[in-house]
């Protein structure tokens, strides 16, 4: 299909109508010339009229074509061509897949190095008029000259990210959008099956450069799960999932905190659960490490556990619903009786506070809260029913009665303390070591006690919310995670950096980062490789052509020549201008045959 | 031969540009000047040398018929001489002039005479030559009808009569040649010379029939087809409406596009006239209004004698 490097120049095609418009509209009544031999003219016109009329229309057509072709030539016409020596100015995007899997060593050489050679060969074939972009694992198109992009290619190394090749191709097409028939996208990748997502038919050419060596057999750690938290002092179990291919066995070691690592022999697809042994309370890192293979970056995975004893709490057993829930937790080891936490009323220490059943007691409660230094207060009974707003803590439950909660004078900071809302208004808030509920946990106030989520909610209140939120986040590098609203600081490798809670965050490096809310550690962010990067299985050419219609698959050796050739656009400007020249010659010849183009002498008197 | 011609041109009105000659004075004076120059070139009389008895030799002049060259003398002396003959009898000549509106036109009024103006001078000169040889000479003018008939006379006052009539001839509307030619028969009772001057912008059949009739009656007939150079070669603005002054027929065209085809048409018309005249024994000469009168006279007289 014909394409254009400067399609806006096609607007000049309108000028092709000029000869016709002049012919149609520039006519006027000519001057009258008295001429006795008019009878000869009439006879001449009668004999030659048809031939001259034909020649005039032919001349008009030729001149219209000349103008139109000049406009077309200015637009830079190109045609697909399998083999072109000098390519037309092209728009090309190199997708260089330096994702984690490109760090694999194949036959002693890094896979990325061979992809890099291919990219260099393509950039070496680029011309000064070519528009070039480079997309690497971060997915961002970078525009630059061949020299600039070659410098970037030389600098980059394998990144612990996953690159979705389908998304990268879409980005490439967006980068070259508006460039006539579209640019050429060249994908240099190890073509992991997990990275190849379908792409609809789009403009431009697509060249896929595949590595020539076979993919390596790899084992990687796909998952590291420390289980239900917090752990008790007796410790817990760490579940490790092994991904990859091949029948090879490898040793894995799992270390929790400072304890000696637990060893195990694993193979692809195996899930092992290793005990940690007893461990003192606190936050402890968890490392799982496989013995080295050709791809090192997925041989290590990190996580963290919080070790804490069950909350020592006191509650009134006659509380029909809250008391029962606490008894259930007691029986399951999630609570022990003690005085560290008061459940259901305001105690002398940390408390989960319900509003009084009798509104007359509300004033006394507010005064007691004030005496404790709390900033939140109960306000009036809110008329009508409402519902909790669904969030990770609590789903949507009907609220029949509730008191308003307000923290006068706190300003915007109060949002960090609001854990659950009902119709947008605070319903469960944390005020230092107090948790204030807007409704009593009874069926007259809310339907929550009658739901299956009630006991886990009480567990959350007693073991997590009352102690401070415990957040376990996991993300791959570059992946967007939303930090808990209360987060104020992120600590990594002993270095602290302030960060806004509730905001999106894209970690760039592997490892553990602790999330702090003020002085309290409220969670951990474990940044580990995307487990799909461990799957080295390569997609076949046929599948590529199915998923990416129109794609041309070539080997690395042919990358340099195939990129622009498959880009496939032969410059037609020369050909078009040659046709224009031939038409001009035809015009001159035809006009020469017509006496109108011959030199004129002085005119007659009328 | 060319050097001789150029050497005498400055003193001979017959070889000057017709428009320049016309600006020198009235019709009488200019005509006499033309004839004087013309006869000087001929030494004596154009009619000498074209009739029966040999009279003398003279130097070859441009326009002389090669058949009158004396080849023996050329072989002996390496000089060009033509043989001249003495006429035997006086001639009766009738000049027929087309004074239609189409004749009153010039393609370049500031540089060239109209066809009618040129005809006046040419016929006046021709009449003077004939009358000086005591040939009876008459005149018929016509447009859409016969306007004036002056019977042929050999008196010296005849020339002034002809001159006045030529000067007074005003252009009429149309062209009707055939009645005028029929009237010639009444004026020439015995064999004579008929000189028909016209731009021939009319339908040929009737006029040709009349001309053939004159030939049939034994007259020498000379048709002088007078054309303006602009009528021979079409020029003009980028586009124009060309209108016939007589019929008001008009054609809109770009002269630049049609010049070549028009020239072919004109050549075709001239050829048709020439062939038609030749077939009927009529002498035909096409003269453009930029031709010096001397050359035109020579062509006319030579042509008229060649057919005898």
B241 contacts in chain A (CB < 8 Å): 29-33
A38 contacts in chain B (CB < 8 Å): 242-244, 247, 249-251
Task: Return the residue of B nearest to A41 by Cα.
Answer: B262
Question: Are residues A210 and A224 part of one domain?
Answer: no
Question: Are residues A170 and A107 part of one domain?
Answer: yes
Domain boundary among A415, A434, A465: A465
Angle between helices A146-155 and A111-125 (to 10 degrees): 170
What percentage of residues in chain A have a pLDDT greater than 70?
Answer: 91
B239 contacts in chain A (CB < 8 Å): 30
Please give the average per-residue pLDDT across A110-135, as a whole number. 86
Interval B13-26: pLDDT, tens: 666 678 777 766 67
Quote the strand ranges of A438-550, DSSP E. 471-475, 481-482, 489-492, 495-498, 504-505, 511-517, 520-527
Task: Return the residue of B nearest to A606 by Cα.
Answer: B107
Q: What was the pLDDT predicted at B271?
A: 94
Q: What was the pLDDT predicted at B269?
A: 92
- Mean pLDDT comparison of A6-15, A241-250, A346-355, highest-scoring range: A346-355
Residue to substitute from A35, A46, A52, interface B, most B β-carbons within 10 A = A35
Question: Are residues A168 and A110 part of one domain?
Answer: yes
Q: Is residue A81 part of a domain?
A: no
Helix (H) or strand (E) run with residue B302 in it:
helix B293-306
Q: Is the pLDDT of residue A218 over 80?
A: yes
Comparing CB atoms, the residue among A34, A48, A56 nearest residue B245 is A34
Comparing CB atoms, the residue among B201, B235, B261 nearest residue A601 is B235
Lookup: tokens for B289: 């209004």
On the question of a cis peptide bond just before residue A230, with omega within 30 degrees of 0, the verdict is yes
Q: Given an 8 Å threshold on Cβ–Cβ distance, is A32 in contact with B264?
A: no
Q: Given an 8 Å threshold on Cβ–Cβ distance, is A605 in contact with B231?
A: no
A22 and chain B: CB distance < 8 Å anywhere?
no
Question: Are residues A423 and A351 part of one domain?
Answer: yes
Q: What was the pLDDT predicted at A288?
A: 93
Q: Is residue A83 part of a domain?
A: no
Q: What was the pLDDT predicted at A74?
A: 86
Number of structural domains in chain A: 4
Residues contacting residue A74 through CB under 8 Å, at least 6 positions apart: A6, A9, A12
Q: Is residue A602 part of a domain?
A: no
Mean residue pLDDT of chain A comes to 84
Q: Is the pLDDT of residue A591 over 80?
A: no
Q: Which domain does A102 fall in, by range?
A: 91-215+536-568
Three-class SS state of A327: helix
Lookup: tokens for B207: 């006029």
Q: Is the pLDDT of residue A222 over 80?
A: yes
A590 contacts in chain B (CB < 8 Å): none
What percentage of residues in chain B have a pLDDT greater than 90?
Answer: 26
**Distance in angstroms (rounded) separating the CA atoms of residues A100 and A578:** 52
Lookup: tokens for A154: 């030389």
Residue scoring higher pLDDT (B12 or A439): A439
CB A138 within 8 A of CB A161: yes
Interval B182-205: pLDDT, tens: 888 888 878 888 999 999 998 888
Q: Is the pLDDT of residue B252 over 70?
A: yes
**Distance in angstroms (rounded) separating the CA atoms of residues A437 and A441:** 8
Question: Are residues A372 and A432 part of one domain?
Answer: yes
Q: Is residue A29 part of a domain?
A: no
**Distance in angstroms (rounded) separating the CA atoms of residues B141 and A497:** 123
Please give the average per-residue pLDDT across B250-259, as a whole number. 83
CB A392 within 8 A of CB A486: no
Task: Return the residue of B nearest to A598 by Cα.
Answer: B256
Q: Is the pLDDT of residue B51 over 60?
A: no
Please give the average per-residue pLDDT across A299-314, as a whole number. 90
Which range (A4-13, A369-378, B40-49) has the least confidence?
B40-49
Quote the strand ranges of chain B, DSSP E. 53-59, 81-86, 92-98, 136-142, 146-153, 193-198, 220-227, 240-243, 250-253, 283-288
Q: Which chain A residues in 491-530 lie under 8 Å from chain B, judged by CB atoms?
A: none
The CATH number assigned to the domain holding A113 equals 3.40.50.410
Three-class SS state of A157: coil
Task: Return the residue of A nearest to B259 by Cα.
Answer: A595
CB A353 within 8 A of CB A346: yes
Residue scoring higher pLDDT (B89 or A232): A232
Q: Given an 8 Å threshold on Cβ–Cβ distance, is B261 in contact with A42?
A: no
Residues contacting residue A269 through CB under 8 Å, at least 6 positions apart: A242, A243, A244
**Distance in angstroms (rounded) separating the CA atoms of residues A524 and A527:** 10
Question: Are residues A222 and A164 part of one domain?
Answer: no
Q: Is residue A130 part of a domain?
A: yes
The torsion region of residue A384 among left (phi > 0), alpha (psi -120 to 50) and beta comes to: left
**Distance in angstroms (rounded) separating the CA atoms of residues A302 and B78:** 130
Lookup: tokens for B212: 């053939």
Residue with tokens 């035909």: B284
pLDDT bucket at B3, cuts 50 / 70 / 90: very low
Q: What was the pLDDT predicted at A606?
A: 30
Lookup: tokens for B236: 């003009």
Question: Are residues A500 and A388 part of one domain?
Answer: no
Domain boundary among A442, A465, A488: A465
Question: Are residues A245 and A288 part of one domain?
Answer: yes
**Distance in angstroms (rounded) separating the CA atoms of residues A254 and A275:** 9
**Distance in angstroms (rounded) separating the CA atoms of residues B15 and B6:** 9
Q: Given an 8 Å threshold on Cβ–Cβ distance, is A604 in contact with B242?
A: no
- Count Cβ atoms within 10 A of the Cβ of residue B121 and give its class: 0-12 exposed, 13-18 middle, 19 or more buried: buried
A155 and chain B: CB distance < 8 Å anywhere?
no
pLDDT bucket at B49, cuts 50 / 70 / 90: very low
The CATH number assigned to the domain holding A346 equals 3.40.50
Q: Per the confidence metrics, is the pTM higher than 0.80?
A: no
pLDDT bucket at A88, cuts 50 / 70 / 90: low
Distance from CA of B103 to the nearest CA of A (A): 8
Q: Which chain A residues in 52-91 lie under 8 Å from chain B, judged by CB atoms?
A: 52, 56
Question: Are residues A151 and A57 part of one domain?
Answer: no
Residue scoring higher pLDDT (B224 or A500): B224
Question: Are residues A195 and A174 part of one domain?
Answer: yes
Q: Is residue A231 part of a domain?
A: yes
Residue with tokens 């074939």: A125
Q: Is residue A339 part of a domain?
A: yes
A34 and chain B: CB distance < 8 Å anywhere?
yes
Question: Are residues A190 and A245 part of one domain?
Answer: no
A26 and chain B: CB distance < 8 Å anywhere?
no
Q: Given an 8 Å threshold on Cβ–Cβ distance, is B257 in contact with A41?
A: no
CB A93 within 8 A of CB A135: yes
Q: Is residue A561 part of a domain?
A: yes
Which range (A202-211, B115-124, B287-296) has the least confidence?
A202-211
pLDDT bucket at A353, cuts 50 / 70 / 90: very high
CB pairs under 8 A between A and B: 120
Mean residue pLDDT of chain B comes to 81
pLDDT bucket at A29, cuts 50 / 70 / 90: confident
Question: Are residues A455 and A360 part of one domain?
Answer: yes
Q: Is the pLDDT of residue A117 over 70?
A: yes
Which range (A474-488, B51-65, B167-181, B227-241) has the least confidence?
B51-65
B270 contacts in chain A (CB < 8 Å): none
């Amino acid at each position: 299909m014909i394409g254009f490097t400067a399609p806006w120049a096609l607007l000049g095609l309108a000028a092709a109508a000029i000869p016709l418009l002049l012919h149609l509209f520039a006519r006027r009544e000519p001057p009258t010339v008295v001429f006795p031999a008019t009878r000869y003219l009439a006879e001449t016109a009668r004999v030659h009229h048809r031939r001259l009329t034909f020649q005039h229309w032919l001349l008009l057509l030729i001149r219209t074509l000349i103008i139109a072709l000049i406009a077309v030539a200015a637009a830079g016409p190109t045609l697909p061509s399998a083999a072109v020596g000098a390519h037309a100015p092209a728009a090309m995007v190199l997708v260089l897949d330096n994702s984690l899997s490109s760090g694999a060593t194949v036959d002693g050489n890094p896979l990325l190095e061979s992809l890099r050679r291919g990219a260099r060969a393509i950039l070496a074939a680029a011309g000064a008029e070519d528009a070039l972009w480079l997309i690497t694992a971060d997915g961002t198109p970078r525009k630059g000259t061949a020299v600039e992009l070659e410098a970037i290619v030389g600098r980059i190394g394998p990144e612990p990210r996953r690159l979705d090749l389908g998304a990268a191709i879409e980005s490439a097409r967006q980068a070259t959008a508006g460039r006539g028939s579209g640019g050429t996208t060249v994908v240099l990748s190890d073509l992991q099956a997990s990275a190849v997502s379908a792409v609809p038919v789009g403009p431009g050419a697509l060249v896929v450069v595949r590595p020539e060596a076979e993919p390596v057999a790899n084992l990687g750690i796909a998952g590291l799960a420390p289980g239900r938290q917090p752990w008790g002092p007796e410790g817990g179990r760490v579940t490790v999932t092994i991904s990859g291919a091949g029948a090879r066995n490898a040793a894995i070691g799992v270390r929790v905190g400072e304890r000696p690592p637990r060893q195990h022999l694993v193979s692809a697809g195996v899930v092992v659960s290793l005990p940690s042994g007893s461990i003192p309370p606190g936050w402890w890192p968890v490392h799982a490490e496989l013995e080295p293979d050709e791809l090192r970056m997925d041989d290590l995975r990190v996580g963290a556990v919080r070790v804490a004893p069950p909350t020592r709490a006191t509650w009134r057993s006659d509380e029909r619903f809250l008391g029962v829930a606490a008894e259930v937790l007691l029986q399951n080891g999630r609570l022990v009786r003690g005085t560290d936490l008061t459940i259901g009323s305001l105690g002398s220490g940390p408390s989960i506070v319900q509003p009084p059943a009798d509104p007359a007691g509300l004033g006394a409660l507010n005064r007691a809260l004030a005496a404790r230094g709390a900033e939140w207060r109960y306000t009036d009974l809110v008329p009508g029913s409402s519902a909790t707003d669904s969030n990770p803590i609590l789903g949507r439950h009907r609220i029949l009665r509730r008191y308003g909660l307000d923290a006068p004078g706190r300003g915007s900071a109060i949002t960090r303390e609001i854990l659950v809302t009902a119709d947008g208004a605070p319903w469960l808030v944390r005020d230092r070591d107090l948790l204030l509920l807007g409704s009593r946990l009874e069926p007259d106030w809310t339907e929550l006690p009658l739901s299956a989520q009630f006991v886990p909610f009480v567990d959350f209140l007693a073991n997590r919310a009352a102690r401070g939120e415990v957040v376990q986040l996991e993300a791959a590098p570059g992946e967007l995670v939303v930090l808990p609203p209360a987060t104020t600081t992120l600590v990594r490798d002993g270095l602290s950096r302030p960060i806004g809670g509730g905001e999106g965050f894209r970690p760039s490096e592997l490892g553990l980062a602790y999330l702090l809310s003020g002085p309290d550690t409220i969670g951990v962010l474990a940044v580990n490789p995307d487990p799909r990067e461990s799957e080295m299985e390569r997609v076949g050419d046929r599948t590529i052509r199915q998923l990416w219609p129109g794609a041309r698959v070539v080997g690395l050796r042919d990358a340099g020549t195939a990129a622009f050739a498959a880009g496939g656009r032969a410059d037609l400007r020369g050909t078009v201008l040659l046709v224009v020249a031939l038409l001009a010659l035809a015009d001159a010849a035809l006009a020469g045959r017509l006496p109108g183009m011959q030199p004129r002498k002085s005119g007659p008197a009328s | 031969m060319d050097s001789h011609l150029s050497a005498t041109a400055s003193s001979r009105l017959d070889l000057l540009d017709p428009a320049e000659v016309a600006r020198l004075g009235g019709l009488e004076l200019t005509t006499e000047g033309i004839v004087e120059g013309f006869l000087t070139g001929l030494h004596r009389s154009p009619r000498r040398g074209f009739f029966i008895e040999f009279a003398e030799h003279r130097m070859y002049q441009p326009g002389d018929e090669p058949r009158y060259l004396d080849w023996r003398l050329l072989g002996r002396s390496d000089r060009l001489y033509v043989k001249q003959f003495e006429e035997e009898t006086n001639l009766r000549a009738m000049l027929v002039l087309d004074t239609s509106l189409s004749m009153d036109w010039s393609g370049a009024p500031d540089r060239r005479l109209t066809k009618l103006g040129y005809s006046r001078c040419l016929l006046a000169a021709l009449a003077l030559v004939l009358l000086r040889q005591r040939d009876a000479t008459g005149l018929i003018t016509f447009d859409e009808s016969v306007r004036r008939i002056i019977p042929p006379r050999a008196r010296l006052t005849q020339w002034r009569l002809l001159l006045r009539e030529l000067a007074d001839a005003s252009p009429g509307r149309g062209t009707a040649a055939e009645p005028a030619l029929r009237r010639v028969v009444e004026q020439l009772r015995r064999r004579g010379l008929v000189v028909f001057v016209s731009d021939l912008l009319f339908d040929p059949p009737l006029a040709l029939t009349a001309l053939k009739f004159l030939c049939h009656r034994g007259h020498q007939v000379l048709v002088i087809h007078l054309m303006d150079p602009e009528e021979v070669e079409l020029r003009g603005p980028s586009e124009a409406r060309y209108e016939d002054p007589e019929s008001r027929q008009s054609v809109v065209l770009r002269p630049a596009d049609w010049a070549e085809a028009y020239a072919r048409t004109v050549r075709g018309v001239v050829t048709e006239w020439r062939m038609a005249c030749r077939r009927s024994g009529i002498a035909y000469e096409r003269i453009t209004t930029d031709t010096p009168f001397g050359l035109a006279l020579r062509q006319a007289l030579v042509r008229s004698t060649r057919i005898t």
